[in-house]
Amino acid sequence: MPSNGFHKIVRVDLPESSDTAYFQDLVDSFSAPQKTDWRCDLCKTASGNVKTEHLTQLGEYAFVNIPRATYYDGSKNLTKVAFPQEPVEIKVRDKVKVYEAVAIMEHLGTR
């Protein structure tokens, strides 16, 4: 993939306790504060850390990755994703860029 700034990949996580997740909600959740289980390398103490990710720029195309396999045991998250028929808004700082969903790729391989 070219590194000319025209393509951005956004990785969003599926909720595990939901029957259906809405694509716009998943995209909006990218910048929401998330608790982490990070521990201090020296004392191994968890201190209620929170991470927040923000996009600094967007390109002509945005690729949204929604992984289903967990990293812990390889199980698959079966939450359904409702994809929009209307354009999707992605926020960068105080600006909003509108994207049209043009393709969906589904991996059907085995574990």
Residue 85, CB half-sphere, CA atoms under 13 Å: how many? 0
Residues 99 and 92: beta-carbon distance below 8 Å: no
Instruction: Kindly report, residue by residue over 26-82, the tens digit of the pLDDT.
Output: 888 887 888 877 788 888 887 778 888 777 777 888 888 888 877 667 778 888 888
Instruction: Kindly report, residue by residue over 22-38, the tens digit of the pLDDT.
Output: 888 888 888 788 887 77
Give the pairing of strands 50-51 and 7-11.
unpaired
Alpha-carbon gap, residue 24 to 28, rounded angstroms:
6
Instruction: Kindly report, residue by residue over 85-95, the tens digit of the pLDDT.
Output: 888 888 877 78
> What SS3 class is residue 13?
coil
